[in-house]
Structure 1
Amino acid sequence: MWRSAFDHFLKGLMTRDRLIVRFADGSTAHYGPDTGQTATLHIKDDAILRGLCLNPVLALGEGYMDERIGFPDLGLLDTLKLLQGNRSTTGFPAWLRALNLARYHMRRFIQRNRPDRARANVAHHYDISDAFYALFLDADMQYSCAYFPDPDMTLEAAQDAKKAHIIRKLCLRPGDHVLDIGCGWGGMALTLARDHGVRVTGITLSENQLQTARTRAAQAGLSDKISFRLEDYRKTSGSFDRIVSIGMLEHVGVPNYGTYFQRISDLLAPDGVALIHSIGRSAPPARHDPFLNKYIFPGGYVPSLSELAGAMEYAGLWQTDIEIWRLHYAKTVRHWLERFNAARDQIRAMHDDRFIRMFEFYFTICLIAFEDRMQGVYQFQLAKNRSSVPLTRDYLYPNSHPQGPSFSGA
């Protein structure tokens, strides 16, 4: 039954390139025209055919992790890119479209992410170990999209450029109190306090990141300027001149967007500025990614702009600037994957091969999402007062406009 369904699936999918499937019994089948590229998919266990028909991305990932699926010709990345290229030219079979629609409507149940669940979700990924993440991240441990105004920049330089670009958007003033929601290992907070004369409160749900961030602040002599807390954004109180949140909105979940942006509004001073940096879809809303949700980021979801706009509007926040980064995250992930592959022997001393293949598949599908699908990064600059930021974007590019920012004319 499932082999017949799989055969039907691939006949509809492969319209541009050619896929050769080698089955566990030694037989082969060919799909697609004799044009374009050719790739081979080796299915070593026919039991996985059911999953490939009902939840293909998850089944491909699990099959690769368990070595029940191989990509002998082009390798993992190029084979998945070939499949993605054909997917964009045709639709899935009716049964899979129906299942995906059901999964789409289940988002509001899967992504409720109440405080206890949110903390467990964060621990699942971010509390692995600093030593592991240090093998592929930059020296400042920035685990979000870097910014490449020069495509030949190193990862370290591009992450510094990301922080600098965000900080310009915050329009800081000496003595400002900044809230960093989802502060990670503390890199942005340290940069803000050390280089810009502000106080920072950083909140996270990761105990591992919290301890590292506190240690880094102490070692830098900045403990009097930075406070790190294990705290859910829904529990934070006070008033802050500036709010920054980098790579955290992806963990909030569809049911909580209204709460998230209302908390931004409640915590922001009347003349305050917030900068929210998040992966986003330049396409209609979709279901959550089944592989990432199960193995990497439980409760996570990449929002479409249409899902966020209403929440920002109802929170009474001016959208003073919205910027969309295309391909910057693809370059970032390529750097991470290159470093990850170079460090395989060190990683193997920490984790088994199944874990390594899991992370490799994670990086691969993320890379394809940013290079071949409608996925990028949004930066939302928000304010209660339209006059809290300059009236033009010239201040974001100081090298082009040496006269500096102007706050007049508000």
Structure 2
Amino acid sequence: MKRVLDIFLKKFIQTGTLTVIYSDGTQGRYQGSKPGDEVGLRLHTTAAEKALALKPALAFGEEYMNGTATPEGCSLERLMHVLMYNLENSNLLSEEINSRMRYVGRLLKPLNSLKRSRKNVAHHYDLNGDLYRLFLDKDLQYSCAYFERDDMSLDEAQEAKKRHIAAKLRFDRPGLEVLDIGCGWGGMALTLAKDYGAKVLGITLSVEQLRVARERAKEAGLDGQVRFELLDYRTLHRTFDRIVSVGMFEHVGVAHYEAFFNNIRRCLKPDGVALIHSIGRMDGPGTTNPWIAKYIFPGGYSPALSEALAAVEQTGLWVDDCEILRLHYAKTLAHWRQRFEAKRDRVRAMYDDRFVRMFELYLTASELAFRVQGHMNFQLQLTRSIDALPLTRDYMYEEEHNKAP
């Protein structure tokens, strides 16, 4: 299998240079025709070589987690940058066929039923709550921040994200009823209640997030204004003035997009406003990396904007505004990665070395997906009525400016 892997890497590396030290001590140097970074990879076992030759997209992550594939003379970030850049720009026929097969396969996978959705969410979000406190901002925002200035801290950028979204929701009067779909640990819901006078129902499928969100509401004295429930969005049958969903649409599943937006329409009052914030991709429909799907976000998929808009078009909703956030999540993930690395010993004490390597690979690969592989975020502002919002976007800027510190 070493020979097979050698042939593959000679074709795969087109930019930069990768030196591989095989388990028998021999080296392979793979230099692309285009200049780039020089990085190294050590493979410690023949089993790792075989796995990489047969299923590289899944095996690299697994072998790194196991400690049988490690960076050599470089950081994980530098190694992943070279590998992911070449993957994005590869013209290998085998990779194209593999990608197309995965694209078809995602349509054949089991649907995200209520039971499966709860199980998928628990896999990632019901981990030890102290883990996320180690690397997230003080408000526990586990989604893309908004960097109004390049020198913003993570806490400042997450506060700016909430202001940006709230301005698009247009809180033109107190007491508006808000539905927060996928409310996380409650930060957005609590902010809308405290700073905008809203009455919020936050729903989640994570037992751990629900517990923390309820505790935070009680501590803030907002438990009479904000309510958190363990609910699936498909089970709600009441209407709201505003609906917000941040970082949840990635877990809906392609087959459920139209149903999701139909539920948004059904739960939105005639003059209501909804804001959907999601990871997306700029290059059309694709697939979820098999390692990410297995170990990080089972059932997850970052949609192309064309897929989301096609579903919206079937529901009668207006897309009043669409904004693309390009490198904001890359900057967010860079903050998370650096904070995580600074607390590696504490994470290891919670779990083990394998978990630490898994999580650092997840954060690194995710950051690079936004830097070199066309990932981005989009925000869709939706209404049922053509005249639910002012004719121009000036109200957004005015509100955002008025709430700025």
- Number of aligned pairs? 400
- CA distance in 1: counterparts of 2:283 and 2:226, whole angstroms: 38
* Matched residue, 1:387: 387
Contact 1:100 1:287 in 2 (8 A): yes
SS class of match (1:149): coil
Unaligned 5+ segments in structure 2 are: none
| Match runs of 1:82-231 below 5 Å | 82-94=82-94, 96-110=95-109, 112-172=111-171, 173-231=173-231
| Match runs of 1:202-351 below 5 Å | 202-351=202-351
CA distances 1:340-362 after superposition (whole Å, capped 9, x unpaired): 01111211211101000000000
CA distances 1:249-303 after superposition (whole Å, capped 9, x unpaired): 0000111101111100110000010000000001111111211111111100000
Return the letter of the residue paired with 1:57: A
Contact 1:54 1:99 in 2 (8 A): no
Matched, 1:79 2:117: no
CA distances 1:156-188 after superposition (whole Å, capped 9, x unpaired): 110000000000000113111000000000001
- CA distance in 2: counterparts of 1:343 and 1:20, whole angstroms: 30
- CA distance in 1: counterparts of 2:210 and 2:400, whole angstroms: 38
Matched, 1:7 2:9: no
* Matched residue, 1:25: 24
CA distances 1:41-78 after superposition (whole Å, capped 9, x unpaired): 11111222333234323211111110110111122110
Contact 1:272 1:388 in 2 (8 A): yes
Shift of 1:91: 1.6
- CA distance in 2: counterparts of 1:373 and 1:244, whole angstroms: 27
* Matched residue, 2:377: 377
Contact 1:65 1:358 in 2 (8 A): yes
SS class of match (1:84): helix
- CA distance in 2: counterparts of 1:130 and 1:59, whole angstroms: 29
- CA distance in 1: counterparts of 2:291 and 2:78, whole angstroms: 19
CA distances 1:114-139 after superposition (whole Å, capped 9, x unpaired): 00010011111111122110000011
Contact 1:179 1:201 in 2 (8 A): yes
Unaligned 5+ segments in structure 1 are: 403-410
CA distances 1:56-115 after superposition (whole Å, capped 9, x unpaired): 232111111101101111221101111223334432342x43232222111123361100
Contact 1:271 1:384 in 2 (8 A): yes
Return the letter of the residue paired with 1:9: F
CA distances 1:378-409 after superposition (whole Å, capped 9, x unpaired): 0000001121122222222228988xxxxxxx
Contact 1:9 1:93 in 2 (8 A): no
CA distances 1:350-378 after superposition (whole Å, capped 9, x unpaired): 11010000000000110110111111100
Distance 1:179 1:73, change over 3 A: same
Contact 2:99 2:287 in 1 (8 A): yes
Distance 1:33 1:192, change over 3 A: closer
Contact 2:85 2:373 in 1 (8 A): no
- CA distance in 1: counterparts of 2:55 and 2:28, whole angstroms: 21
Contact 1:111 1:300 in 2 (8 A): no
Distance 1:400 1:255, change over 3 A: closer
SS class of match (1:324): strand
Per mean C-alpha deviation after superposition, the further-off stretch among 33-42 and 43-52 is: 33-42
SS class of match (1:308): helix
- CA distance in 2: counterparts of 1:126 and 1:55, whole angstroms: 28
Distance 1:141 1:382, change over 3 A: same
CA distances 1:202-239 after superposition (whole Å, capped 9, x unpaired): 11000111111111111111111111110001101101
After TM superposition, the score normalised by the length of structure 2 is: 0.95
Instruction: Calculate the aligned-residue CA RMSD, in Å.
Output: 1.6
Return the letter of the residue paired with 1:281: R
SS class of match (1:322): strand
Distance 1:264 1:20, change over 3 A: same
Per mean C-alpha deviation after superposition, the further-off stretch among 134-143 and 287-296 is: 287-296
Return the letter of the residue paired with 1:162: K
- Taking only the aligned residue pairs, the percentage that are identical comes to 49
Contact 1:19 1:40 in 2 (8 A): yes
- CA distance in 2: counterparts of 1:202 and 1:250, whole angstroms: 18
SS class of match (2:191): helix
After TM superposition, the score normalised by the length of structure 1 is: 0.94
Distance 1:401 1:155, change over 3 A: closer
Distance 1:342 1:306, change over 3 A: same
Shift of 1:33: 4.5
SS class of match (1:258): helix
Return the letter of the residue paired with 2:377: V
Contact 1:279 1:375 in 2 (8 A): yes
Contact 2:164 2:400 in 1 (8 A): no
Per mean C-alpha deviation after superposition, the further-off stretch among 245-254 and 55-64 is: 55-64
Return the letter of the residue paired with 1:14: I
Distance 1:111 1:65, change over 3 A: same
* Matched residue, 1:405: none
- CA distance in 2: counterparts of 1:111 and 1:131, whole angstroms: 32
Contact 1:278 1:378 in 2 (8 A): yes
Shift of 1:5: 2.2
Return the letter of the residue paired with 1:150: R
| Match runs of 1:390-405 below 5 Å | 390-398=390-398
Return the letter of the residue paired with 1:205: L
